[in-house]
Structure 1
């Protein structure tokens, strides 16, 4: 099977994006996630550097480095009318894309609702933040924005601390303490910053032009590629693409 330059779900995605993403909604934030077994030994910690690039009804999560090694892929989520969602797994080095329709996400048991959308676009949901206790007298400023501190227990006894930027609905920092390990998420760069003495970084957002030049294939068509060695070669690199294990034997 030959890859389609413009798959059906990609065409719909392009239509939705071009329908309007307001600049006021846009924010680009680079984070570093550090996971460490307890007690934490710095040299054994796992590091991931990534960008969250959010626009109206769209968010791209682009991994940059994982434990020092380049990780050039993105997850692009699109919120559509009627409570539906679409997803594109982007492989930037290969200039390939796998498009998932809302029905594909349901078949893969990937639950997408308002809470899941907030988790992707805000990292901390409104309900999670509401369940934490605001720490009086702990407000400060980062990048020119007011930062509030919250603390408490989330989920199954996860001790949590959140330094929250209300104006952006994004955290400056999050710390989760699990029984066996800790996870911290720290903001490293921000656009736009109300005030910052740090160098401005260019967010690596995948433009519409770049997206149109990728080779796209619908997830539903991947089964047709199982016996095509040239296609399996690039698919084998899509380690984090949802559902690929069902096509690899």
Structure 2
């Protein structure tokens, strides 16, 4: 089912306290397309214009995939029955797949928080945000949150869709740049028109073996400094 979302008029109800933002599991399985815009805002620096990135999130109970539509690469995270998280980096043009087991991620300090991968909201964000209003967003009720993160010198604004447990809009403002991520459209995962790439013929490389592959022409320039897809 295709659901195009458009922001509509504000529908605040004075006198009714708005809830704090809480992640409520189980999370709905869905596929969503986002556009992230990075803008230079430092007044003394020549403006380089805004850069736009389209990407997709596929979310299931124990599997999360993000697909960078510009770079033709993907990140896949899977969670075992015991709660361990494994990771794959996919480079589609080169047909290469780099695998990280949970121990690899711990060793390089990149073991993520599952709910952050699944909702794009970190525990630091959650502790900083407070509700400031309620709106309609297409067919959904949405709650607007705002806050600031002193350690990052960052202000944060979020439009949250409780029914989807997903943000419709994230705005991050720092001294020299602004980052905005906006939901374009979403689908129930089983009805998604966006198939994930087939990887049966990809060459699989274990993270532990990357040092032996540094001269692989298909990997030059792709070897990861960090496997996390949403760092900023």
The TM-score normalised by the length of structure 2 is: 0.75
Where in structure 1 are there 5+ consecutive unaligned residues?
1-23, 66-70, 194-199, 244-249
Task: Give 4+ residue runs of structure 1 displaced > 4 Å after superposition.
Answer: 39-43
Identify, as 1 or 2, the structure richer in helix. 1
- Aligned partner of 1:186 among 182, 188, 194: 182
Report how many aligned residue pairs link the two structures.
198
Q: Does 1:225 align with 2:216?
A: no
Residue correspondence of structure 1 range 76-225 to structure 2 within 5 A: 76-112=76-112, 116-125=113-122, 128-129=125-126, 131-136=128-133, 138-142=134-138, 144-154=139-149, 156=151, 157-192=153-188, 202-206=193-197, 210-225=198-213
- Structure 2 distance, partners of 1:76, 1:234, is 20
- The 3 A distance-change label for structure 1 pair 125 and 172 is same
Where in structure 2 are there 5+ consecutive unaligned residues?
1-26, 228-232
Q: Deviations along 1:151-180, whole A, 9 cap, x unmatched?
A: 111352421110001111110001111121
The alpha carbon displacement at 1:55 in A equals 0.8
TM-align CA RMSD: 2.7
The TM-score normalised by the length of structure 1 is: 0.70
- Structure 1 distance, partners of 2:142, 2:126, is 13
The alpha carbon displacement at 1:237 in A equals 4.3
Conserved 8 A contact 1:189-1:201:
no
- Structure 2 distance, partners of 1:100, 1:74, is 14
The alpha carbon displacement at 1:201 in A equals 7.2
- More relative contact order, 1 or 2 (CA 8 Å, 6+ apart): 2
